[in-house]
Amino acid sequence: LGLHDVGRLDAGLGRTLEALAAAASAAARGAPALLFGTPLADAGLTWDTPGFPAVPLPGGAAGAPVDASTVGAFVVAVVDATVGAGVSRQVAAFRDGFSKAAPLSALAPFDDAETDALLCGEPGGGDWSPAALEAAIRFDHGYTAASAPARHFVAALAGLDPADRARFLRFATGCPRLPHGGLAALAPRLTVVRKHASARASEAGAASATPPGSALADAAAAAAADADLPSVMTCANYVKLPPYSSAKVAAARLLYAVREGQGAFDLS
């Protein structure tokens, strides 16, 4: 592992170290050593482990200023402390523990991204087309795949970007990643059921004064449902979906729930 790997663990530190490496290269050519446009001497950089000043950084005196003549060695020392000797004991312990569950040689055919997907799941990837979603989701207790609210829900999911897919997965299942194989491999299967109107929505429907079962009553019920939010049972991968009147409303209410409702808990 080297400098380019640090940014995958800590994006901010990675950018800073790359800028410092560029400053070291400039100094070696006799050019000014700059850190994001500022002279390195004015940056106040000291020979300490970034973020962990109490941890000694080998190769220099703690608290000593880093200048153009030492910045290259500083970058090497920080990289080593971050992804090299500084974490060698932890890595050795992890390897020892992992090998008790499975031989490390079993991971040899896979690169790091593939290993991550196998062990930790896929971060919202896979096929999220309407056809794939309809095949992977079970609609029950008031809905079928042909129900208008079910179609609205599928359309809303298909329109999510990767970040909102992860938010939806965390909201609905408690985990932002899918098992290997995508949504179709989720167990229990993602299930969507009809959510009964809240007290506020029921009062709004009753106030419409339309005969039950009429087109106007159905429209009033849909409009009342539009005020409700979806809720979930993460232990069962269960989504309780109000019968929204349109795909646009379904998408708006779903996005509000997954973006603003993370960590919330209620009985519904």
Catalytic residues: 235
Q: What would the two tokens of residue 233 be?
A: 């049972």
Residues in the chain: 268
In terms of C-beta density within 10 A (0-12 exposed, 13-18 middle, 19 or more buried), how is residue 171 classed?
A: buried
Q: What is the DSSP letter of 145?
A: T
Instruction: Compute the CA torsion angle 165, 170, 172, 175 (nearest 10 deg).
Output: 110
Contacts of 138 (CB under 8 A, 6+ apart): 189, 190, 191, 192
Q: How far does Cα 241 stand from its chain's mean position?
A: 23
